[in-house]
Amino acid sequence: FTCVTALAQTAWQIVLLRFFVAMGVGGEWAVASAMVAEVMPTRSRPVMSSIFHGSSVFGTLMAAAVGATVIGNEALGENAWRWGFAIGAAPALLTLWVRWKLREPDDWIRARDRARTDKDARTGRLTDLLRPPHLRNTLVGVTLASIGLVTFWGVHIYGKNALLRQAQNRALQEEKVPLAAPTDPAAKSVYKQRRSEALAKHRSSIKRAEMLSMTLNTLGGGLGLILFGPIAMRWGRRMTFIFYHAVAFLMVLILFRWLMVPETPTWQLAVALPVFGFFTLGMHAGYAVYFPELYPTRLRSTGSGFCFNMGRLATAAAFVGFGMVAITDERKAVLLAPLYLAGVAVVLMARETSGQDLPE
């Protein structure tokens, strides 16, 4: 569906195709996170689960590279975005190899066989997630995922704006366009036209700055994802979640309130972005580590997927609301920052699973 998006002719076709892509991504994560947890021994499970989730960074880095070299390529004209979607389908070829090599975990096979003779042990029953003894785990998981995904789309991704704003300011200064808009309505209309023309003239350099910002943000995020597991092995799941959420809150304030101003040197942003990404994205590996540990084998994939994807629905609802309010990306990120502190409170109500075998 990613590849087919390159052929879309209308906006509704793009929306429909992206919906199907999102369905596949959500289901793929649930199955894969449960499988990694089930095939790895207790001592190495957190590390491998973090690496599994952290591998998503390769896709983001590929997207950044495509954005800088293809979508931002003026020679490709107005169809450059189509080439971006076409190239984005390349990783799907890996699924052919995965299907060929994939083997079901022994734990799941036993759970499936048991479900055939025991109605109380049925696999994948959603109602079981919403009643004791799993209700508390489900509420914690859904809330953590909702906080993580709302802040991903409302905070983390705007890290790409750091160097983007600097490049825009340089372009405006080079074209002798003031950085601040005038207050007079008539003058403001002329200013908007001049500003738009100036930014269009420097579109390629601005796009490269945005992709560099995105790359630094993503590299830090990838490291945060991979290291979540090793840290969780030493500190426990709860303390690691608290650490990531608390520092993420501080980094949002540092980046968006203090550093994203015209006079900030580029090197300071280049240093801050990976640290910002480490904590705002790195906590997501905790979902791959922690959610499968909350449920027995017969509900592991279902429970993990339910928690993670209910977070997606919460994100959609949140941004319908934000779409009705005219605020800048940076302001939105600052307003959402307290959600990280809410995440700390949620973790305090979660149970610790460190060092324990997976529930049967």
Q: Is the model more confident about 355 or about 283?
A: 283
Please write the tens of the pLDDT for every residue from 15-29. Answer: 898 888 887 777 778
> Rounded CA gap, 310 and 274, in Å?
28
Q: At a CB cut-off of 8 Å and minimum separation 6, what does 294 contact?
A: 134, 137, 138, 140, 141, 303, 351, 353, 359
pLDDT at residue 65 tops 80: no
> Rounded CA gap, 181 and 268, in Å?
26
Which range is least confidently modeled, 15-24, 106-115, 238-247, 339-348?
A: 106-115
Please write the tens of the pLDDT for every residue from 133-178. Answer: 999 999 999 999 999 999 999 999 888 888 888 888 888 888 888 8
pLDDT at residue 63 tops 80: no
pLDDT at residue 180 tops 80: no
Please write the tens of the pLDDT for every residue from 274-308. Answer: 999 999 999 999 999 999 999 999 999 999 999 99
Give the model's pLDDT for residue 185: 78
Most confident of 53-62, 187-196, 258-267, 332-341: 332-341
Helices (H), the chain: 2-5, 11-39, 45-54, 56-66, 80-88, 94-101, 106-115, 126-129, 135-154, 161-174, 185-201, 203-235, 237-253, 266-282, 285-290, 297-322, 329-336, 338-348
Confidence of residue 2 (pLDDT cuts 50, 70, 90): confident
pLDDT at residue 76 tops 70: no
> Rounded CA gap, 305 and 300, in Å?
8
CB 129 within 8 A of CB 303: yes
Q: What percent of the chain has pLDDT over 90?
A: 40
Domains assigned to the chain: 2-113+134-348 (1.20.1250.20)
CB 278 within 8 A of CB 150: no
Using left for φ > 0, alpha for ψ between -120 and 50, and beta otherwise, residue 23 falls in alpha
pLDDT at residue 84 tops 80: no
pLDDT at residue 73 tops 70: no
Give the model's pLDDT for residue 71: 65
- Rounded mean pLDDT, 115-139: 87
Instruction: Of 187, 168, 163, 164, give the one whose Cα is nearest residue 179.
Output: 168
- Rounded mean pLDDT, 119-138: 88
Q: Is the model more confident about 212 or about 236?
A: 236
pLDDT, the chain, mean: 87
